[in-house]
């Protein structure tokens, strides 16, 4: 109840009317929060899982939960999760596992997730919710340079002017080089060479980026870092040829599922910009 007012303030479209509504709101926060904590703890330590639990014995369930828990409209205040985490008992095999590590462990389900989600991440400031945590992790390895990186937001620039795509830049003499995997946004342009960290793409990449972009557009307290990165990549990738070119350079890796051929590294016939385009 002591968190009810601050938690309710996170939902501008959820007015409370009287003690009954407040009680219902608090019960809903406890119910959802405890479900999430059990989910994260049991994912972290499989020995806690019940063999008859449909969350863990149905192969598709975890993928659905991954998608739903990253929806911008589905976020639970981090303060609620943190409160319940510190007020619920933890099994001996979970001691030392922080709330952050439990959450990030759940969302690391593929090689693409391994690339962008560091389980040892320590939040430098206030976290609003799970989606905000994921955003902070993705940009945590960003290098601070004296010169502006090519994808970074520039309020004085004319965003209506598109940068040429990758194949056009290559034909003009610009070279492309695969960068380190430490942070996908550590993109550098120096001496005619674009150094771009690899981006591995699977079925979850599109929804993840769309929700991160929507969050940045809706919340004034977060800079448009992911949006700017997506805008930059959208300019680079304009055709299948661009996909082929960047895959050959090791900058893109495609793990999208094809129902007829299974998982493949072959670039799809449609543009990958549908995954990273900032257009909502």
Q: Which residue has the higher pLDDT, 270 or 135?
A: 135
- Condensed to tens digits (0 to 9), the pLDDT of residues 189-236 reads 999 999 999 998 888 888 899 999 999 998 887 889 999 999 999 899
Alpha carbon distances (Å) from 64 to 56, 244, 247, 277: 12, 30, 28, 23
Res. 269: pLDDT tops 50: no
Instruction: Record the tokens describing residue 51, joined without a space.
Output: 């063999």
Q: Which residue has the higher pLDDT, 12 or 209?
A: 209
pLDDT at 16: 61
Report field, pTM of the whole predicted structure over 0.85: no
Q: Of 44, 188, 183, 40, give the one whose Cα is nearest residue 115.
A: 183
Q: How far apart are CA 122 and CA 141, in angstroms?
A: 12
Q: Which residues contact 88 (CB under 8 A, 6 or more apart)?
A: 34, 37
């Amino acid at each position: 109840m002591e968190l009810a007012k601050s938690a309710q303030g996170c939902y501008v479209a959820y007015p409370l009317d009287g003690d009954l509504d407040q009680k219902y709101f608090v019960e809903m926060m406890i119910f959802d929060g405890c479900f999430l904590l059990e989910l994260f703890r049991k994912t972290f330590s499989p020995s806690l899982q019940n063999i008859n639990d449909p969350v863990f014995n149905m192969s598709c369930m975890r993928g659905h939960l991954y998608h739903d828990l990253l929806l911008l409209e589905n976020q639970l205040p981090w303060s609620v999760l943190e409160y319940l985490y510190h007020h619920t008992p933890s099994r001996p095999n979970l001691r030392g596992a922080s709330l952050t590590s439990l959450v990030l462990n759940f969302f690391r389900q593929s090689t693409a997730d391994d690339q962008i989600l560091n389980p040892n991440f320590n939040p430098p400031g206030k976290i609003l919710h799970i989606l905000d945590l994921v955003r902070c992790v993705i940009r945590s390895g960003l290098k601070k340079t004296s010169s502006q990186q090519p994808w970074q937001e520039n309020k004085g620039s004319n965003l209506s002017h598109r940068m040429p795509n990758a194949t056009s830049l290559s034909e003009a003499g610009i070279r492309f080089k695969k960068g380190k995997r430490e942070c996908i946004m550590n993109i550098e342009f120096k001496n005619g060479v674009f150094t771009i960290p690899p981006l591995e793409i699977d079925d979850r990449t599109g929804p993840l980026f769309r929700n991160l972009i929507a969050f940045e557009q809706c919340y004034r307290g977060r800079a448009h870092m992911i949006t700017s990165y997506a805008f930059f990549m959208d300019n680079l990738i304009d055709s299948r040829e661009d996909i082929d070119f960047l895959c050959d350079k090791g900058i893109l890796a495609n793990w999208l599922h094809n129902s007829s051929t299974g998982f493949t590294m072959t670039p799809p016939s449609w543009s990958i910009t549908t995954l990273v385009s900032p257009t909502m």
